[in-house]
């Protein structure tokens, strides 16, 4: 038996006869004449060396060999049809899908707990991995399917890469409750002059989408006030709590920390806003599993991004950077 000699169209006839128990009914289902269907059955019998179906009072009954073949043939034909038509079946309760995301270290801290809880509740057999990919390599990783999607301060311009905003974010200052600005009156926001007298700490992860904090401080001529650079955001809350250092972090992270560490958040005067985007490849646009994951990320973390009228450009303030946290 040589599989290459089998006309795969004959398998559709096998499945139809198995379902209808009739050559005539199978022909109608496949839009074939009775003679064409009978000829196809004869070719199937010759290829497999088995009658496949025998006559009985109730119609055609499958042989043991046919019962071995037919269920698998039907299953694979359905899978092939779903693949070709783009209507692949996706069942949350049974899927063992392995999603591969790329989040920064801060994104992992902020997003993974809620994402994991949702997956365990809604898709308990699914798996999830966070893959470390540098911002410059995200588009290539998406194209090669190393990752399925990425979340961060990303604005890819590569062909075939899709992006949409999840929420708008800005940087804030985080300090111990006892800390006060060295100069000027304390208010809800710290001015550039007050930051110029403060000792700052920032996180500088190695493989991440994060460069926005230092870019912002450089534009504000405050980079020289950075006295400590940590490798991970996880060190910042204890540094702010136990010292006079002021941590510059995304607002979402500050809100999360403020509730757990009793830290004080200060807004930054004239701090730029930036969009945190969900990025994926066009090849997964219509895949039901990927559609569900993107919808879940929007449901858990998406916030409406208001479109503000453009502000008049200021010579001393270049456009904000395109990468950062989370």
Give φ, ψ of 232 to 5 degrees: -135, 150
User: In order of start, what are the domains of the chain with their CATH numbers?
Assistant: 3-85 (1.10.10.10), 98-166+274-301 (3.40.190.10), 171-270 (3.40.190.10)
In this prediction, residue 306 carries a pLDDT of 45
- Provide CB contacts within 8 A for 264, sequence distance 6+: 174, 175, 176, 177, 179, 258
Q: What's the rounded mean pLDDT across residues 72-92?
A: 74
pLDDT above 70 covers a percentage of the chain that reads 87
- To the nearest whole number, what is the mean pLDDT of the chain? 84
**pLDDT given for residue 102 in this prediction:** 94
Highest mean pLDDT among 202-216, 265-279, 295-309 belongs to: 265-279
- 307 pLDDT more than 50: no
**Which pLDDT score, from 0 to 100, does residue 118 have?**
96
Residue 244 scores a pLDDT above 50: yes
Query: Could you tell me which of 279, 276, 281 has the C-alpha nearest to residue 320?
Result: 276
Of 297 and 284, more confident: 297
What whole-number percentage of the chain has pLDDT above 90?
Answer: 39
In a 13 Å sphere around the CA of 255, the CA atoms on its Cβ side amount to 7
Angle between helical axes of 251-261 and 105-122 (0-180°, round to 10): 80
Residue 248: helix, strand or coil by DSSP? strand
For residue 252, give the nearest of 322, 192, 301 by alpha carbon. 301
């Amino acid at each position: 038996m040589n599989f290459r000699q089998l006309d795969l169209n004959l398998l559709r006839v096998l499945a139809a006869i198995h379902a209808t128990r009739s050559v005539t009914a199978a022909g109608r289902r496949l839009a074939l004449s009775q003679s064409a269907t009978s000829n196809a059955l004869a070719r199937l019998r010759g290829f497999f060396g088995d009658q496949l179906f025998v006559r009985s009072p109730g119609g055609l009954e499958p042989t043991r060999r046919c019962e071995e073949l037919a269920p698998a043939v039907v299953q694979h034909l359905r899978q092939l049809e779903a693949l070709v038509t783009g209507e692949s079946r996706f069942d949350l309760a049974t899927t063992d899908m392995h999603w591969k995301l790329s989040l920064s270290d801060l994104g992992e801290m902020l997003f993974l707990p809620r994402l994991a809880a949702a997956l365990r509740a809604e898709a308990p057999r699914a798996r999830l991995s966070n893959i470390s990919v540098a911002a410059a390599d995200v588009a290539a990783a998406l194209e090669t399917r190393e990752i399925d999607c990425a979340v961060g301060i990303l604005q890819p311009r590569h062909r075939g890469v899709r992006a949409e905003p999840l929420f708008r974010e800005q940087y804030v200052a985080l300090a111990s409750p006892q800390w006060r600005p060295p100069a000027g009156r304390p208010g809800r926001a710290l001015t550039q002059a007050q930051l110029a007298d403060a000792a700052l700490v920032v996180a500088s992860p190695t493989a991440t989408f994060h460069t926005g904090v230092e870019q912002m401080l450089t534009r504000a001529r405050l980079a020289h006030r950075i006295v400590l650079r940590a490798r991970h955001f996880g060190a910042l809350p204890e540094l702010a709590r136990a010292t006079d250092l002021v941590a510059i972090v995304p607002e979402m992270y500050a809100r999360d920390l403020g509730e757990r560490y009793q830290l004080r958040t200060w807004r930054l005067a004239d701090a730029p806003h930036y969009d945190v985007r969900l990025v994926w490849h066009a090849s997964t646009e219509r895949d039901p599993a990927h559609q569900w994951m993107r919808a879940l990320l929007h449901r858990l973390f998406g916030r409406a991004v208001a479109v503000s009228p453009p502000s008049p450009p200021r010579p001393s303030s270049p456009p904000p950077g395109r990468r950062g946290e989370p």
